[in-house]
Amino acid sequence: MRQKADYLTSYVHLQKLRFGEQIRVAFNMHISEPEKTLEPMLLVPFVENAFKHSSGKAGDAEIRINLVSDEKKLDLSVYNTYDPNVQRQDEHHGIGLHNVQRRLALLYPDKHQLCISQFENTYQVILQIQFK
């Protein structure tokens, strides 16, 4: 788990450098059992999407990422603001999210909950995985 968390931390730091003051980013992580295993790159698409769809031009652009893991479960929440007036034309729209949902169903059947909510100008993902 520690290696996946380190990758996620590095990715967030890189994006913070890229966007600078355009986007406020809050990243909190607490992993009490670093020996636990998690499938590689499972969490990254949620964080990538937050940066991809959050726009610094939207005014108060914000991303909040919380990752908490212990011996029993992992909780991830990713929240971002976006500009609903900006149409993103992407030929691969939704494929990454769909692939993650399929991977979760295959790897953690009946052991995960994924809730994706979209409001006026906010998007939130909440993922919980129960460890075996």
CATH of residue 118's domain is: 3.30.565.10
* Beta pairing partners, 75: 68, 128
Using CB atoms within 10 Å of the CB of residue 129, give its burial: 0 to 12 exposed, 13 to 18 middle, 19+ buried: buried
Q: What pLDDT was estimated at residue 75?
A: 96
Q: Is the pLDDT of residue 40 over 80?
A: no
pLDDT in tens, 66-76: 999 998 999 99
Confidence of residue 35 (pLDDT cuts 50, 70, 90): confident
- CA distances 104 to 26, 112, 114, 127, Å, are 25, 7, 9, 10
Confidence of residue 97 (pLDDT cuts 50, 70, 90): confident
User: Could you tell me the pTM of the whole model?
Assistant: 0.88
Confidence of residue 94 (pLDDT cuts 50, 70, 90): low
User: 102 is in which domain, residue-wise?
Assistant: 2-130
Q: How many domains does the chain have?
A: 1
The four Cα atoms 96, 97, 99, 105 give a dihedral, to 10 degrees, of 160
DSSP result, 65-103: EEEEE-SSEEEEEEEEE--TTPPP--TTTTHHHHHHHHH
